[in-house]
Every structure is written in C-alpha cells, then in structure tokens.
Structure 1
C-alpha cells in the first residue's frame, strides 16, 4: 500500500536538493522564457529588405525610375551601385548582396521606340527559399513598372511586355534544398558533438576529485586547456572528413571550391566549438549544469546562425546577437566554398569574424579557469 507520508518526505528531500542547486534551478526557470522570446522573434520565413547590387548601363530617367521602384518596395533594397556587370556577380560571390540587377545600355532606347527591352537579375540560389522569393519579388515589381510604362507609351503598338525580367540563378540553379541544407548540417553536427564532448571534460575532473591533482602539478591553465582540447581536435577533424565524404556519396553535394581550404577553415571552426565547450565546463560545477548550459547555447545557435531561417528576416537585435555565434560565419564559409566555389579572398570577412571570436572565447576560458583554480 502506498504511504503518502513517505512520498511527501522524499518530495521534500528533492525540493531541498533543487534549492541547493541554484544554478540548475535558475537555468530551468529562465531558459524556457529566454528560448520562447528568442525563437518567437527570430523564427520567421518572411524575407524582406533583400540587398541589391545594381549596374545601370543606361543611366537615364527611365532606368532610375525602375531602380527606385525596386528600392522603394518593402522587399528589396539597393545596397550598392557598381560600374560593370562583372562587379554585380562578384558582389554575390562575396555575399554582400543576394540579388544583382543589370540594366543594359540599350534599355531606354528600346523603351522610347516602343520596343520590348529587358532587365537581367542575378540571384543567389544557394538558399532556395530566398532565391524563389527574390525571383517572385523582382518579377512582380518589374512587371508592374512595365504595365505603367506600356500605358504611358503611345509608341508601343502591341500588348507584349514592355520590360522583360530575365532571372539567372547562380550557384544552385536547380534550387535543390539538399545542396543548401547539407553544408549547414555539417557545421551543426560538428559544433554539437565537439561542444558536448568538451563541456563535460573539466566538470568530470571536478566531480571525480581529480582536478585537485592537476592543480598540484606545475601545469598552467593555458597548458591544461590546450591539452584538454587537443585529442578532441583530432576526433573532430576525422568527423569533418567523414561528413564531407558522406555528403558527397549519399546526397551528391560536390565541393566546388578548394577542399584544402575547407578543411583548414573547418579546423579553425572546430577550435572555436571546443573552446566554447571548455568555457561551459569551467563555469559548471556538475555535469547536469554543463548539459543545461550546452543546450542553452546549442538550441539558439541552430536558429540564429542562418542554418534554417534567413538572418535577413530577423529583427536587428536578434541579428546582432547572431553575430556572436561562430556557426553563423562557418555556415557562410561552408556554403561559399561548397556551393559557390569561392576562395579565401571572398571569405575574408567571415574568416576574420570567426578568428576574432575564437581568440575572445579562448582568453575568457583561460581567465575563468584561473579563477576556478583560485
């Protein structure tokens, strides 16, 4: 027969344990609220303010009117004007813009003669959802402007479109979702495994009581952190190679750029993930705390890094937060090398941001570990 008093006694004992473990209690109470607010603002499939790179070969009133129509919409915004059509494609290679607009020099001449003319749109197809949205937006705006021009142009003698938009999808012309998802999944897997592995390393030493033995040795905090990371670097390097091979064999995702560059930058990213794991390990007293803190970092990183939802659709404050997640930049690197085939010159910005974050994380981890030893 069940004894209510014994159940209440055990429950009371458990409440006391929960009160004593303040860190886990705070995480359990705050984390759901934090994730709800974060995901509620960040998770959005609406895409607006897509950046445009514009080449205006005509430089006339009509071409400027078309550019203004594109810029004044809620969906597209002119980011830069360039001097050559090739510069438009380079802007997409560097990831500065998602759409390139090329207005030919004969644009206004044909328009004033009542002849059909054209405008070319170069669209970054590495993200199929953004590419489809960009294609739809650009075509709608041009067709609307074309109708206005047709109604005002007395020289036009037929009902065909005055201005024809030609959309050229770059990097992923067939808009296969696997080519967009697989690079992101590779980065996500590597991040999650490395952080979870290292997050428990120092905590395990604390719980077993062996951390005191390490403190008694002449090992410095830097030597201990590097020593803890080193075995996992080789393990993570092996995982990187396996995921790239399986992505090619199973999903047919070819690496268009340099494999050596990808592996080198992948190793740098893995170092950042391992450093984050070490940091979580230094601020945790138990493996349960380490697990909670790991989840508190890993779950937002999935959403904020641009792995699933476009960062362009996020509010500015959420976009700002995403800039402090290494996976954000590694996703850019992965998709840049695998899908676009770009080199190190085009990836200087995400590489610099990633390196900066790594240095900050390692310094903070070492300083925190020194305090732990004290």
Structure 2
C-alpha cells in the first residue's frame, strides 16, 4: 500500500465533496439543526396553552381566581365564552386546548367546599392533559375573607380520558408515513428519469411540463391511499383508535397532505442532481417535520419563532386536521384554516416546481 496514492485518493474525495454543495450543506446543517431543535425548540414543560374562560359568576372572587390561574403560566386566555357548550365547541374545532368553567353559584360552592370550578381539557394530546392537571392545586380562597372549607377544581379530559398514547400517536402516524414516502418517492422518481436518459425522450414528445410532472405524481397518490387505509385498519384493530368524525373527511385530509408532499417532492427533484442527493434533501425536510409538527413533542411548548416556522410545514396542519376529525369528531369545515393552508402550500410548491422544471430542461 502506497501512502502517496492513499493520500491522493483522500484529497480527491475531499475536493469532490467540496464541489457537492448539497452534501456539504448536510454535513454542516444536520448537526446545527439537531442542536438548535433539541436544545432550543423542544420543551416538555408546556406553558401558555390557548384557553377560553366562561366566567358565569363574574364576582370579585371569580376574577381573582382567573388571575391566579393565569399566574401559573399554564393558561393563555385567548377567548371568552358564555357557556360550557360554547367551550366544548371551541375544543372540538381545535381553537383552544383548555376551557375554564366558573358556574353562577361559584361563591356558594366555594364556601360549602364543593366542586367550584371545572377545567375542560383537550385530552387528544396527552401532554396538554398532564400540564392542565396541575391547575387543580390552585387555591380557591385567594383574596377572600370568608372562611370556607377546601373547595375543589376538577380537571376533565375529553376525547382520551384513559390517556392512552396510541390514541394520540396512530392518527399522526398517517402523516409521518405519507410525508416520508410521498416526498422521497416523488423526488427520486424524477431524478431517476434524468439519470437514465429518459427525460430527454419525454421532453421530445408533445407532453407539456405540467402534464409530465402531474402524470408522474398521480400514481403515488394511489400508494398514499393504500397506506392511509392500512394505518386506519391496523389502528382500529390493534389499538382501538376511534374515528369519531366522518371517514370521508379523514381521506380528504389525507389527499390534501399527499398532494402537498408530492409537490414538495417535485420541487426537490428539480434541485437534486442524483438519487442520493434527492434522498439527502428529503431527510433534511423530514427531520424538522417530525420534530416541529407536534407529533413527537408538544407544539405548545415551542418558542413562538419555532412555531411560526412549523406553520410552514404541511405535516403540522395535517396533524391538526386528522386528530380533530378522528379524535374530537370535528368536521373538515370546522377545521377550514388547516385545509386552506395545505391547499395554499400545494399550489405554491407545484407552481414553483413546474416553473423550475421548465427553466432547467427546456
């Protein structure tokens, strides 16, 4: 073995790596991304949960209690309500995570030592239910001069009272699987045509750029349907995961995510020069999606700037859709902001991919 020849090969590989900008970006970007995400964005201590309060008593004591609840840092009142029914509607739509009910006879209940306040929690996210549980320790006699028995704050979790993790995880797995497979399959498919020399033949035909790209992705939509059905069947069979909303809405939400991921895969394919680069770039997208979307770590625990970044990811909106439909029984119409976000993402990515494809290969 010659040390000189060995050194020459090493220098050659380093120079080739330097010319490969995508690989160089992965070498630097992945450690930085993981350090920032795990050290800064991931936080298991939930604070500032979106909350609506129905203060039917509207007394000095009830207002003092609301202030005490806010001072815990767990709640972030964003809306007011007039009744428990209105709070339940907000919970089902995903507008809030916690609802506080203070009944009209709050003062009498407090003096008698009965249940005086009820905390309604969206239990489809077990981390939110655990964080709201500490509110039961807030004293009810703050600022009161009336001697009373120890009153109670009850915390009621809806949609997953048993706190089974599978109830929360299985719907999210639909999004994780579709994100991983749809983006990678599409990105690799276009690049493979280019590597094999088939792209020039396709361009020589009367097929337009739009027809070519849309025709390439539609077969993968069928694969996405099969994967969605498989997860739903196994989830119901093995883990008894319910579908409280309309099954059709679940499939429509899945279609929206499939289209968003396919358009993202097409965008990646216009940038990647090889199948290996396409897989690298897919991993670069998949990592923040699984960490920031709310699948693995609680969304409410992330800093605001990270939450804004997560709003760009289609998986974030799909998780809200699928959990709202399957676990809370919400309709697609009630979750319209997430639907619009997925449609807008697909339109922007597909348009950009088609324009970039024409620019590169015309």
User: Counterpart of 1:186?
Assistant: 174
Alignment of 1:341-352 (within 5 A): 341-352=329-340
- 5+ residue gaps, structure 2, are none
Q: CA-to-partner distance for each residue in 1:62-100, whole Å, 9 max, x for gaps?
A: 111111111233221211111222101111111111111
User: Counterpart of 1:34?
Assistant: 33
Q: CA-to-partner distance for each residue in 1:288-329, whole Å, 9 max, x for gaps?
A: 211111011001100110001111111111100000000001
Alignment of 1:155-166 (within 5 A): 156=148, 160-161=149-150, 163-166=151-154
User: Counterpart of 1:10?
Assistant: 9
Q: CA deviation at 1:340?
A: 0.9
Are 1:70 and 1:77, in contact at CA under 8 Å, matched by a contact in 2? no
Q: CA deviation at 1:148?
A: 5.6
User: Counterpart of 1:270?
Assistant: 258
* TM-score, normalising length: structure 2: 0.95
* TM-score, normalising length: structure 1: 0.92
Provide closer, same or farther for how the CA distance between residues 284 and 330 of structure 1 changes in structure 2, counting only shifts above 3 A. Answer: same
Q: Secondary structure of the equivalent of 1:283? A: coil
Out of 273, 277, 302, the position equivalent to 2:290 is 302
- 5+ residue gaps, structure 1, are none
User: Counterpart of 1:153?
Assistant: 146
User: Counterpart of 1:135?
Assistant: 133
1:67 aligns with 2:55: no
Q: CA deviation at 1:15?
A: 2.2
Q: CA-to-partner distance for each residue in 1:9-58, whole Å, 9 max, x for gaps?
A: 22222223223323322332233223322332221111001121111111
Q: Distance in 1 between matches of 2:315 and 2:257?
A: 8
Q: Secondary structure of the equivalent of 2:112? A: coil
Q: CA-to-partner distance for each residue in 1:76-130, whole Å, 9 max, x for gaps?
A: 121111122210111111111111111111112444xx32241111111111121
Q: CA deviation at 1:249?
A: 1.1
Q: CA RMSD in A?
A: 1.6
Q: Distance in 2 between matches of 1:65 and 1:148?
A: 7
Q: Distance in 2 between matches of 1:322 and 1:218?
A: 40
Are 2:65 and 2:142, in contact at CA under 8 Å, matched by a contact in 1? no
How many residues are aligned here? 361
Out of 123, 126, 147, the position equivalent to 1:125 is 123
Q: CA-to-partner distance for each residue in 1:330-374, whole Å, 9 max, x for gaps?
A: 111111111111112321121111111111111111111111124
Q: Secondary structure of the equivalent of 1:247? A: helix
